[in-house]
Amino acid sequence: MNSNHDSFARHRRLRQSAPLRKLVRETTITTSDLMYPLFVVEGEGVYKEVSSMPGVFHVSLDHLDAELEKLRHLGVLSIMLFGVPEAKDSVGTEAYADGGIVQRAIKHIKAFDSNFVIAADTCLCQYTDHGHCGIVRDGVIENDESLELLAKTAVSQARAGADIIAPSNMMDGFVTAIRHALDEEGFSHVPIMSYAVKYASSFYGPFRDAAHSTPQFGDRKTYQMDPANRVEAIREMESDIEEGADFFIIKPALSYLDIIREANDRFPVPLVAYNVSGEYSMIKAASANGWIDEQAVVMEMLTSMKRAGASIIITYFAKDVATYLREENGGGAQ
């Protein structure tokens, strides 16, 4: 060893000052990485906070413009749309009705500003009276029968103007069924962002409050994945890509960063992490109690998702993060 050199590495050299740390930073979050989940409801005059998700609202169409104005002002132009219908039945009719709440909301948003990128969640659970993501016969979820209705739902969403179809139902073959139906109906240009890997997670609890989609019997374990499985996730991703998914979602995100990394190493498509409701509500609750620094924890959490390999993050924190980033940049647009 030369006497001018230490016999150990000086990692701290690159950590000396904030500007230097910023210069060598490997992972950053920008507003355009974020997609904001929006819950649209029937009726008028509704702007109602979801009790288990402070800061998240049920919005009726007549209150949508104010929400869209806020999002546009913050530069959050990607939306994941969820509908909360008034009427439910055994076959989820409102999911694929041309006058359904999501279909009307899509038209409304596109008319407000066509620059919004709208992903429509394609699932039946908010629309079925039993709360499952597919058709139920004698207590059994019927895979292939469900595909037809999911394909119909996707086509009606595309017809309304959805930019992205985001099927979250976890039936087998849903990408094939939806891709064929879209192509046949003249929507070959509409991409599918599948929930290739969706675990049967307890972190969805607050969402089910928000979307009124708690299953009325049993659970979702015959279609959503066992949280203990990694190899199975790879099989799910492989089949979705083969079936024609353009990109895919891994959900939840925080407890599944290893799966995001694995996906990033294997599949050359944009990866989407879904920072789910439970991950949101835990932080909000701890923050309300003064136990954590909310902004710092949110940024650390979302950074970990990008570092793991996600390029897009669906998050209820999108507006908060866009606000932090604007403040950091002296109020200018991102």
CB 283 within 8 A of CB 294: yes
Q: Is 223 in the site for ligand PBG (CB under 6 A)?
A: no
Region from 54-62, 117-125, 134-142, 239-247 binding ligand PBG, contact rule CB under 6 A? 117-125
Question: How many residues contact ligand PBG, by CB under 6 A?
Answer: 12
Does 317 engage in binding with ligand PBG (CB under 6 A)?
Answer: no
What angle (nearest 5°) sits at the alpha carbon of residue 302, between those of residues 298 and 304? 120
Stretch that binds ligand PBG, among 136-144, 146-154, 200-208, 292-300 (CB under 6 A): 200-208
By CB under 6 A, name the one of 56, 118, 276, 310 that touches ligand PBG.
Answer: 276
Under rule CB under 6 A, residue 125 binds ligand PBG: yes
Q: Does 236 bind ligand PBG (CB under 6 A)?
A: no
Verify binding: residue 31, ligand PBG, rule CB under 6 A: no
Out of 22, 70, 107, 251, the active site residue is 251
**CB-nearer residue toward ligand PBG: 180 or 208:** 208
What Cα–Cα distance (Å) separates residue 133 from each residue in 59, 95, 197?
A: 23, 11, 15
Active-site residue (options: 88, 152, 198, 306): 198
Alpha carbon of residue 95 to chain centroid:
18
Cα separation, 233 vs 263, whole angstroms? 9
Nearest distance in Å: CB 149, ligand PBG? 14
Give the Cα separation of 271 and 188 in Å (integer). Answer: 21
Indicate whether 84 belongs to the interface with ligand PBG (CB under 6 A). Answer: no
Residue closer to ligand PBG (CB basis): 52 or 103: 52
The interaxial angle of helices 64-74 and 318-328, nearest 10 deg, is 40
Which CB, 27 or 214, lies closer to ligand PBG? 214
Number of residues that this document lists for the chain = 334
CB of 138 to ligand PBG, least distance (A): 22
Residue from 207, 223, 248, 317 that binds ligand PBG (CB under 6 A)? 207
With a CB cutoff of 8 Å and minimum separation 6, the contacts of 153 are 92, 95, 96, 122, 123, 124
Among 39, 204, 223, 324, binds ligand PBG (CB under 6 A): 204
Is 152 among the residues known to form the active site? no
Please choose, out of 60-68, 182-190, 206-214, 293-301, the segment that lies near ligand PBG by the rule CB under 6 A.
206-214
When CB distances to ligand PBG are compared, the closest residue is: 207
Residues that bind ligand PBG (CB under 6 A): 121, 123, 125, 133, 168, 204, 207-208, 213, 220, 276-277
Catalytic residues: 198, 251
